[in-house]
Chain A
């Protein structure tokens, strides 16, 4: 039996962008229905174990990769999307990036309004600077090494109320202390009458002269307007499956914000898995913050024992030696402001087909970042630095760092991950861009996009705040238009 539902607006996807847009629309006076493919997670059931939480919180059980398995991709699944499992970093989008996006008409509002909205988002998230006593040894070592090399770093802001310091943010806060999208947006929306349905996998959207029909497994929604906020992977798949949009660029401008892990073995215990996972951002290599081209941020990247082991190179004793040093391991990584693009389309069985490999400029950027991070760990006192390259697994001195230059950088020769896919249905004034600057999908009248897909490039910083800002502004833009 097919459940028949009706609403003025149907929002597909309940991550950072979808929750913000849905809340704005409902509070703006429009009867809104929010659909989420995954479940409504009960934090009381979060057990702080990778073996159970990865399959529950991550799309494809955390095993999603590019089609050639060269880049691992973590995306959230369930109400709140990736805000349920992120580390709670609340970083506003950099002004220089916003200005660059404004020049191509890639913002849903003037720069000053976007900045104002990002400030509102920070308030909703309860963002605050991490206290000095909350910076764990892993992050302290990162800051120390950077300082000794004269490389700038900042203490990040977070959306956590009073943190217990358990360190399990990335597999869900069992204590409800992270102010994710459910706290920041959904509570307000629900209070205003927003309807939320989980287990609602949308397969097709049809736009007609009088409205839209959203069809999924066992349900159908009739509505006036549709907002697609199904993530930078899900949104282009759904649009292309539905034959919506006039731009050929849909799904062809994917940025992955690749993250290359670099760990280090110290003499003393680090216990990187405890405490606030990411509290220090090394910004010395982030050229994009000053309007330059490319660059990277270095940030901590501690992981549970399973995920950490998956990164360790070598065989047999090489692996067990590193894992035996797990309590003395510090871990961080290079988050690249990537400029090259990949593609995403629908594969068999509803799985995404993602193609991405950094271009030469981006590969050089990652290599520069790895080189700097290795030097930072050594400056902080590391005995040896574990690299993500198969052909050069570790270095133990400054002199050895120069060996990085000649190391092969092909798929499967280097460990790369992504937790911030974005930009796959980008916004722009150019008629070839997929989405108009107000958030409406080109070639449609009633279909809007409100998630990280919209970014005209990679934002360079952890994108939670930027995605919520774009989601809220598209929601407001719709309210203004529908009221007029």
Chain B
């Protein structure tokens, strides 16, 4: 069963993504103009229910830190303050905070840069399929492989 991701967490992850990648600067597209949200949904769909629960808990912790320090929840802060909150997580002496920082960073940067909308900004020319002719070899001769489910 795909674990449910609550809308506030989605909103928060998009704000985290925008903070990590400094979107909209130069030719980097703003997160909202890319499919980062959809990519994040797909990635979260791969996590176990327990991992998603932990992520919700981490999201609450992020909001709490933002509120204690700047009086507002994370996604309502300006980018400079959001960056301070994330940097404080990374530099924390508390292991679970550093862990939260790493998970957020990897998920959001993966989701943003795997999206085609960002490739122009980083000079990545994308897949060959449909652009470069390559002779395809025959697949292995396995006959019909039956699927049980």
- State the A residues within 8 Å of B (CB): 3, 39-40, 42-44, 47-51, 55, 60-63, 68-70, 72, 79, 161, 164, 166, 168, 174-177, 182-183, 186-187, 190-191, 196-201, 216-219, 273, 304-310, 312, 315-317, 319-320, 323-324, 326-327, 347-349, 351, 390, 410-413
Contacts and interface: CB of A to CB of B under 8 A. Distances in A.
Nearest to A304: B114
A40 B21 contact: no
Contact of A63 (B21, B47, B49, B50): B47
Nearest to A351: B48
A319 B48 CA distance: 28
Interface residues of B, number: 62
Given A186-B140, A312-B109, A316-B22, A200 B46 contact: no
Residue with the highest number of chain B CB atoms closer than 10 Å, among A63, A166, A196: A63
Nearest to A60: B46
A196 B132 contact: no
B142 A199 contact: no
Interface of B: 19-22, 25-26, 28, 39, 42-43, 45-50, 79, 83, 86-87, 90, 95, 98-99, 101-103, 105-106, 109-116, 118-119, 121-124, 127-129, 132, 134-143, 145-149
B121 A348 contact: no
Given A305-B122, A306-B113, 11 more contacts: A3-B148, A39-B147, A51-B39, A51-B114, A60-B46, A69-B99, A161-B137, A199-B148, A323-B122, A347-B48, A348-B48
B89 to A, nearest CB: 10
A258 B71 CA distance: 42
B62 to A, nearest CB: 14
A306 B134 CA distance: 25
A164 B142 CA distance: 24
Contacts of A306: 109-114
Contacts of A183: 140
Contact of B139 (A43, A68, A317): A43
B20 A61 contact: no
Contact of A166 (B99, B102, B134): B134
A326 B20 contact: no
A61 B43 contact: yes
A201 B147 CA distance: 11
A50 B114 contact: yes
A341 to B, nearest CB: 21
Contacts of A309: 21, 109-110, 112-113
Contacts of B127: 47-49, 168
Contacts of A63: 43, 46-47
A232 B110 CA distance: 26
A50 B39 CA distance: 11
A410 B90 CA distance: 12
B1 to A, nearest CB: 9
Contacts of A186: 140, 142
A328 to B, nearest CB: 9
13 contacts: A44-B139, A48-B128, A49-B114, A70-B102, A182-B140, A183-B140, A199-B149, A305-B122, A310-B105, A316-B19, A320-B26, A323-B121, A348-B50
